[in-house]
Amino acid sequence: MIDNAFGLIVTGERTTRLKDLTLSRSTAAVPFGGRYRAIDFMLSNLVNAGVTSVGLVTEKNYHSLMDHLGSGKEWDLHRKREGLFILPPFMTKENSGVFRGAIDALKSVMGYVRRTSDDYVILSWPRVIMNVDLVPMMEQHLATGADVTILYAEDGSLQLEEQSQDLRLIMDERGRVTEMELDAYRPRSVNRSCDVMILKKELLEYLVEEAYARGEYDFHRDILLKKYKTLNIMGYRHEGFLARLESIESYFNGNMALLNPDVQADLFNPKHPIYTKVKDEVSARYSVSAQVKNSLVADGCIIEGQVDSCILFRGVHVKPGARIFNSIVMQGSEIGENAHLEHVILDKGVKILPGRTLQGYDSFPIVIRKNQTV
């Protein structure tokens, strides 16, 4: 177990890549996998590794995140000592409360960082969904004497459109990073950062203060890319499943991957459970006319129609005669009688009136915004 590190999770980045899904929430608060939010995965990874102090840097749209996390009790982070610290921006004479990038955000929480008693920090951006054991990563970090250890995974996919924070690692045979590329048009490596890194707290303080003093604000571009030659940066490979939240398409495919039992076994490994806010919904109820196949269904759903290859979040109601295929339906949405949906993502509280038809495509799922009626 990790007993000398705290977690620091940076949320509130400026991105429009998830379009309507991040209209009223940060990427960290995006619903995923039937009952989770993106943040649950990294938070659970930290807690499962024995981390008991987690700082959560927020900037904008953090209301739904705070509502979700509460006191942190579902993650056992409601502690007298340590626990979960939500760090919203506030204005001081050296801090405008508006962040240009992660360096600004980290600079604003240096007070929290200095007060923590742990020597190491596990810094992350919760835009990658994965269940990773951080203990061996920490062990490797200590054994190699690296300055920074970056979690990476082999990732053949390349998303050039609205490419952002695509950090590629080029490593020697010992795993030391010899070169880095950010948002490369033709990346030279399939090894892509998972936006989780371990470093000494003192080093983070130094790097952030130094970059801030130079007026820099982008953590990846202004710190990692400029420093990789002088710092000893090592890679640590993640072997398991991962889904990146960087476009509607990757969001859709990441969810759909959960219909594979092997992926379920990896992401929902009972030895490293994923915790989330409890809603006290009843068990899902199937009617006599229900026809469900190849789907993940959360508690509180009522299913009276046909559902095939879908992810249904809590409290979804599929009325008689409705047919849904290859779709993601978020909490509390309702699909009316004889409606027909294919390749759609319904955000929370969407109402599909009886008989309506919506059809997207594999590569272009239709997204219906929160609380809309179709």
Q: Which residues would be at the binding site for other proteins (CB under 8 A)?
A: 33-35, 73, 259, 261, 264, 267-268, 270, 273-275, 278, 280-300, 302, 311-313
The secondary structure of 159-190 as a DSSP string is --TT--S-EEEEE-TTSBEEEEEES-SS-S-S
Measure the CA–CA gap between 264 and 274, rounded to whole angstroms.
12
Concatenate the DSSP letters of all residues of 207-245 into one string. HHHHHHHTT---IIIIIIHHHTTTS-EEEEE--S--EE-
> Within a 10 A sphere around the Cβ of 92, how many other Cβ atoms?
10
Nearer to other proteins, 256 or 274 (CB): 274
Angle at 295 between CA 290 and CA 296, to 5 degrees: 110
d(CA 113, CA 200): 11
Q: How far is the CB of 306 from other proteins (least distance, A)?
A: 12
Query: Cβ closer to other proteins: 208 or 274?
Result: 274
CB of 369 to other proteins, least distance (A): 23
Amino acid at site 89: P
Nearest CA among 77, 64, 72, 106 for reference residue 89: 106
What is the nearest approach in angstroms of other proteins to the Cβ of residue 307?
Answer: 8
C-beta of residue 44 within 8 angstroms of C-beta of residue 274: yes
Task: CB nearer to other proteins: give 112 or 268.
Answer: 268
Q: Which is nearer to other proteins, 315 or 360 (CB)?
A: 315
The minimum distance between CB 304 and other proteins, in angstroms, equals: 9
* Beta carbon of residue 131, minimum distance to other proteins (angstroms, whole number): 11
In the bound state with other proteins, the residue whose beta carbon lies nearer, of 209 and 266, is 266
Smallest distance, Å, CB 72 to other proteins? 13
Angle at 184 between CA 183 and CA 189, to 5 degrees: 110
Is 325:308 a contact under the CB 8 Å cutoff?
yes
Smallest distance from the beta carbon of 270 to other proteins, in angstroms? 8
Place of tokens 């990789």: 228
Q: How many residues does the chain have?
A: 374
In the complex with other proteins, the residue whose CB is nearer, 203 or 302, is 302
The three-state secondary structure class of 156 is coil
Enter the tokens of residue 158.
């390349």
- Beta-bridge partner residues of 341: 324, 358
Closer by beta carbon to other proteins, 96 or else 291 = 291
Rank residues 35 and 340 by Cβ distance to other proteins and give the closer one.
Answer: 35
Closest distance between other proteins and the C-beta of residue 69, in Å? 16
